[in-house]
Amino acid sequence: LEEAAFQLQQIFRIDISIALNILGIESMRAGHCRAAFTCFKLAADRGYSKAQFNVGLCYEHGRGTEKDLEKAGFYYCQAASSHHPMAQYRYARYLLQHGPGSCWDRQHKAVALLERAAGAGITEAQAYLGVFYMRGLQPKEKRGLKYLLQAADSGDAQSRYHVGVCYEQGLGVQQNLAEALRHYRQSAAAGNGQAQDRLRA
């Protein structure tokens, strides 16, 4: 009986968090940012990762509350630890740009989070990793190209442009100008200005 009561409590707690988060989303859409933030915060403090992510967004962009990057990082971290892929991406970006600790530790942790987010299909994480591996102090061009291709195949025109650069310059792949042109054309057709300029050149 005690076990059943505990299970009911857990279900009720989760349902309340889901309802609060949905109410927060609807409030944000209606332009009621303070009310939205309050709902997100209540659900986040109950441990609901989607709400924790939304609280992070509110703090990062100053919606419904004062802008506070440290608090944004805290809530992204909470959601990331519950395997929320977009929170993993956002927390990784926070660590690389604002996080505490040594540069090496932050970078190591951030890359691990980005890898997880990219593996979960987050295009932004794939694109970020692609460029990160291409431009790092010790470039890992094949790995970078792998992530750029994933992001490009998800519709990211900027990553498609970078894939073209890889083929044009032979970065992580054998140089192939015809393949470079194909990627530039696809990127340009999606509205990428750099690819359009490259095609003109």
Q: pLDDT tens digit string along 32-48?
A: 999 999 999 999 999 99
pLDDT of residue 13: 57
d(CA 190, CA 192): 6
**φ/ψ of residue 136, rounded to 5:** -65, 170
Are 133 and 104 a contacting pair, CB within 8 Å?
no
* Average pLDDT for the chain: 91
d(CA 180, CA 199): 10
Q: What is the pLDDT of residues 157-187, one digit of tens each?
A: 999 999 999 999 999 999 999 999 999 999 9
> Phi/psi zone of residue 40: left (φ > 0), alpha (ψ -120 to 50 degrees), beta?
alpha
pLDDT of residue 135: 85
List domains and CATH numbers for the chain: 122-200 (1.25.40.10)
